[in-house]
Amino acid sequence: MIREDLQKYFSQIDSNAKNISITDIDGLEIEESLAYKKIYSKLERIQKERAVIHFIGNGASASIASHFSLDYFKAGQIRTNTFNDLSALTAYGNDISFDEVFAYPISRTIDKDDMLIAVSSSGNSPNIVRGLEAAKVNGAFLLTLSGMKSNNKIRKIGDINMYFPEMDYGPTECAHTIMLHHILDTFVDMNIK
């Protein structure tokens, strides 16, 4: 019974993975190979120019952001940063606004050569939206990963927006983890060859 339930869970992720949508800043569908080519090209420039990939997310997505900040730093040999320090989050939330916990530090640290990866299951969290907007003002390259409703807000902000069509948090979070691993592992393999 447990194995059948697990298989059903994997099947749910697999069936939705066939319908991942990748769009650009204008909301237009991008061919998958072109989207990945743009991402890998940006990663190569970031690595070469010693720029930084910044990661943001809330809750479980914050954990995903921290996880991949470490992985992209260690395996990808790219400088990375997250904005998940508890003291900073509570200070910004208390002194400024919880909606600004990412925008405030991003507006002061992110550079035009950097990249911001925003992970949000709903794609509608005000602090994620504001963080992306702040990074956009500074000219950074924006990659979003979202789920839930197809008309979520962050799909209209990123240079590349990866949308996993699922309404449950668990499969969406698993898919985002797989997607970020896939990008990193492919990038590392490309650099080994």
Amino acid occupying residue 137: V
Domain count, the chain: 1
No. of helices (H) and no. of strands (E), the chain: 7, 6
Tens digit of pLDDT at every position of the chain (193 positions): 778 888 988 998 999 999 999 999 999 999 999 999 999 999 999 999 999 999 999 999 999 999 999 999 999 999 999 999 999 999 999 999 999 999 999 999 999 999 999 999 999 999 999 999 999 999 999 999 999 999 999 999 999 999 999 999 999 999 999 999 999 999 999 987 5
Q: With H, G, I as helix, E, B as strand and everything else as coil, classify residue 117.
A: strand
Quote the domain boundaries for residue 104. Answer: 2-192
User: For the domain that residue 188 is a member of, what is the CATH number?
Assistant: 3.40.50.10490
Asked if residue 18 lies in contact with residue 173, where contact means CB atoms within 8 angstroms, the answer is: no
